[in-house]
Amino acid sequence: MRFIRTHGLAVLAHLLALLPLMVLLWDFAQGQLTANPIREVQLRTGKQALLLLMASLACRPFYIITGIRQVLPLRRISGLYAFLYVSLHFLNFLVVDYRFDFPLIREDLFEKRYAVVGFAAFLVLLPLAVTATAGWMRRLGKNWKRLHRLVYLAAVLAIVHFLWQTKIDFRRPLVYGAILVLLLVIRIPAVSEAVSRPRRWLAKRQRGRSAEARPESRFYP
């Protein structure tokens, strides 16, 4: 029970992050990846990468609003799994789809702007994944936080990548964009103070009630 209380949320985060990959591997083994399996893998890995990246960015705002500190370690977990899916997304493009045909890849990068933006997002996330350990945090000191603020740029690039490759229904990338804007706004100090004020007021009121109840317990054991 103690392990579940301490690590249960992290274990759940790992399971939820790995589940889409397990489903993808199962569908691949069963030959259920539609008539165009390369495109299906590309779509699924891209979707999960973006979802997990947004989940990582949502942890801090969620803590600001609710005061639940246990969600903060999930930032690293979600971020690393986002990079895993980004890497699979990129490798599927590079190895399976284009078979290391670099002249063709270079040609597509110049012709397809969404490919350029997607590759840029991968390059931005790469140093963040490499330096996600406690050892790198100690080595970089204050520069570690400055470096990892690039995750916001990676999220913007990922959404633009999604938007530019969408041909018909633009609602989903626009919804992701709106959510990202909201998450960034909540991080503004004045906004953080405003949205956390009701939670802090309730906590202070609860402590006051507890303090009033304690003396009574001496007379009514």
Instruction: Tell me if 211 is assigned to some domain.
Output: no
Instruction: Tell me if 113 is assigned to some domain.
Output: yes
The reported pLDDT for the residue numbered 57 is: 95
Instruction: Tell me if 203 is assigned to some domain.
Output: no
Instruction: Tell me if 68 is assigned to some domain.
Output: yes
Per-residue HEC secondary structure of the chain comes to: CHHHHHHHHHHHHHHHHHHHHHHHHHHHHCCCCCCCHHHHHHHHHHHHHHHHHHHHHHHHHHHHHHCCHHHCCHHHHHHHHHHHHHHHHHHHHHHHHCCCCHHHHHHHHHHCHHHHHHHHHHHHHHHHHHCCCHHHHHHHCHHHHHHHCHHHHHHHHHHHHHHHHCCCCCHHHHHHHHHHHHHHHHCCHHHHHHHHHHHHHHHHHHHHHHHHHHHHHHHCC
Instruction: Tell me if 11 is assigned to some domain.
Output: yes
Instruction: Tell me if 221 is assigned to some domain.
Output: no
Residues spanned by the domain of 114: 2-196
pTM, two decimals, is 0.87
Q: How many domains does the chain have?
A: 1
Instruction: Tell me if 206 is assigned to some domain.
Output: no
- At 145-154, the pLDDT tens digits run 999 999 999 9
Q: Which segments in the chain show pLDDT lower than 70?
A: 1-6, 207-221
Instruction: Tell me if 44 is assigned to some domain.
Output: yes
The reported pLDDT for the residue numbered 106 is: 82
The reported pLDDT for the residue numbered 198 is: 82
The reported pLDDT for the residue numbered 209 is: 67
- At 81-93, the pLDDT tens digits run 999 999 999 999 8
